[in-house]
Amino acid sequence: MNTITLCLIALFAYAAAYRFYGRFISRRIFGVRDDMEMPAVTRRDGVDFVPSKRNIVLGHHFTTIAGLGPIVGPAIGIIWGWLPAFLWVVFGAIFMGAVHDFAAMAISARHQGRTIGDLSGDILGPTGRYAFQILIQFLLWIVVSIFALIIGILFNMYPEAVLPVTAEIPLAVWLGLRIRKGRGHLGASLFAVGLLFILIPAGQAMPITLPPVAGSPVVAWTIILFVYVFFASTLPVDVLLQPRDYLNSHQLMIVMLLLGLGVVIGHPRVTAPALNPAAATADIPAMFPLLFITIACGAISGFHSLAASGTTVKQLEKAGDMLPVGYGGMLLEGVLAVLVIAAVAGGLGMGMEDGGRIYTGAAAFQHHYASWSSAKGLGPKLAAFITGGANLMQSCGIPAGFGRTMLAVFIVSFAGTTLDSATRIQRLALHELTRRPDGRAMRPFNNRHITTIIVIAAAAMLTFARPGAKGALMLWPLFGAANQLLAGLGLTVATVYLVRHGRNPMPTLLPMLFVMAMTVWGMGGNLVSFARKGDSLLVAVSIAVFVLAAWITACAAKSAGEKT
């Protein structure tokens, strides 16, 4: 099969899904009306609740939910073959991920912009709320800690990306100022993106490195990132976070356009196997259930419900914006995941160098994905996409070196948006967790600066629990399953909500059953593996997560039963 055919099938499916299924979910299932009041308007505070233009919020939301997920997930998930990865990204995004994201956004919009964890108290009861919020805090704790490490590693791997990525900060502040003053933001954002692309060769000429701290430059970068994210997460959302994400969204669109043009011009044949025969003999684990946990962003991810209800809904000016932002944003992420699959399945075969030898065609895939252990690390995941993507861009006349740097800047920028937003979301969720009966948070959690310091300090304690800022790696094996568990529980909340309001729950119930089945299956396998290795920490935390999930599920069943 040709990569053009693959991409056209996906684009047609996403367009049809948005036109028909997305509108059905919005109007018929959740009853969204254009005259609904949005919390960004009714609770406007100039910090978190800031009504904004649809395209600006879409840019913020898209970059927040995307991050590295739709890149690294498909880049390793394709090890089982391009066909299962492609089918999961297309049908998972349409019938699961986009429904999940939209549901979280719509329910939050009807509950004054409260996060999915907090409003679960109204739907599942108070005990379910606390269990849900504890799980959310655990997940975000890992996200903030691990992404500080990941960005530090990426800066160390790609020092040529430091200058253009750092330049995004003052450019975003300038762009945010123009937006707040009501001046033209599209032209300004394109101008800023143009400057960033001009800075790419400057970054190549002036790579920035840091001296090691505690034996590692990654530690130095991580400390700087924790300081930066404090300001990014406490400043009003339209000062830095929102315009930076909007700026990154244009950067992403240009990169996606170049990858798409590379597919059209270079039209490489898919040289990866549809089903990888080596998966049956190598050290590659079984596809079920691991594929549906490995590829999260791009199909369905629990973190998306936190972004949709944690920050995005607080910026939506009109109810009609939820369909393009909530449902459409997830489909755009699916497009990115499909382009990653095309880059790895076809672009990688256009030429890959390793050890002084050039591999092409099926040999390139077979060499890179010879075993699970050699392909699962962050470096190999990114290398497959960067090499394949640079090959596609080279078809457009872009030099391979420039293309690799551009993709590195793109990757680091998107990791940064996840870190920024996750810190802000955790601060808001912690505020809700410590809320008193009168609706105010207990001291000192009623102060956003102190709460953010607590969030960052907790993440830093985990990060620096091991040398080289690798403490979060202790819990990282739990993240994939815990993230998908959150997606299943988010769909559970949506299902109970629909049942209690007399609406058809099938669009959320069926995805919920599938996601929960795959996730519990995967968590059970992980628990057995942890026990065999004698890892008491991961065994204990896994059991605790199981208990929380069972607790929330029981609350959901009881709540649904009381209303039927």
Tell me the average pLDDT across 314-318: 97
Asked whether residue 419 carries a pLDDT value surpassing 50, the answer given is yes
Coil, helix or strand for 381? helix
Cα 403 from Cα 255, distance rounded (Å): 10
Write a three-state SS string for 73-86.
Answer: HHHHHHHHCHHHHH
Tell me the average pLDDT across 178-191: 81
Q: How far apart are the first and last CA of the chain?
A: 50
Q: What is the DSSP string of 146-172?
A: HHHHHHHHHHHH-GGGHHHHHHHHHHH
Q: Are 343 and 330 in contact (CB under 8 A)?
A: no
Which tokens is 66 given?
Answer: 């995307």
Instruction: Report pTM.
Output: 0.95
Confidence at residue 151, expressed as pLDDT on a 0 to 100 scale: 95
Within 10 angstroms of residue 14's Cβ, the number of other Cβ atoms is: 22
Q: Are 147 and 213 in contact (CB under 8 A)?
A: no
Which tokens is 330 given?
Answer: 């997830």
pLDDT class for 282, splitting at 50, 70, 90? confident
Asked whether residue 563 carries a pLDDT value surpassing 60, the answer given is no
Angle between helices 476-500 and 506-533 (to 10 degrees): 150
Q: Are 545 and 485 in contact (CB under 8 A)?
A: yes
Tens digits of residue pLDDT in 428-461: 999 999 987 777 778 888 899 999 999 999 999 9
Tens digits of residue pLDDT in 493-546: 999 999 999 999 999 999 999 999 999 999 999 999 999 999 999 999 999 999
Tens digits of residue pLDDT in 322-334: 999 999 999 999 9
- CATH 1.10.3720.10 assigned to domain 3-208+217-369+389-562? The reply is no
Percent of the chain exceeding pLDDT 90 equals 80
Q: Shortest CA distance to 79 belongs to which of 372, 317, 418?
A: 372
Which tokens is 379 given?
Answer: 């470096």
pLDDT class for 564, splitting at 50, 70, 90? very low
Cα 25 from Cα 385, distance rounded (Å): 34
In angstroms, what CA-CA distances link 147 with 67, 361, 545?
10, 34, 21
Give residue 216's identity as a one-letter amino acid code. S
Cα 63 from Cα 421, distance rounded (Å): 10
pLDDT class for 357, splitting at 50, 70, 90? very high
Q: Helix, strand, coil shares of the chain as percentages rounded to 5?
A: 75, 0, 20
pLDDT class for 184, splitting at 50, 70, 90? low
Within 10 angstroms of residue 180's Cβ, the number of other Cβ atoms is: 16
Tens digits of residue pLDDT in 86-104: 999 999 999 999 999 999 9
Give residue 347's identity as a one-letter amino acid code. G
Confidence at residue 284, expressed as pLDDT on a 0 to 100 scale: 87
Mean pLDDT of the chain: 93
Asked whether residue 362 carries a pLDDT value surpassing 70, the answer given is yes
Strand partners, 354: 357
Cα 172 from Cα 189, distance rounded (Å): 9
Tens digits of residue pLDDT in 368-394: 998 887 776 677 778 899 999 999 999
Confidence at residue 370, expressed as pLDDT on a 0 to 100 scale: 85
Cα 421 from Cα 427, distance rounded (Å): 10
Which tokens is 357 given?
Answer: 């030898």
Which tokens is 242 given?
Answer: 């929102």
Percent of the chain exceeding pLDDT 70 equals 99
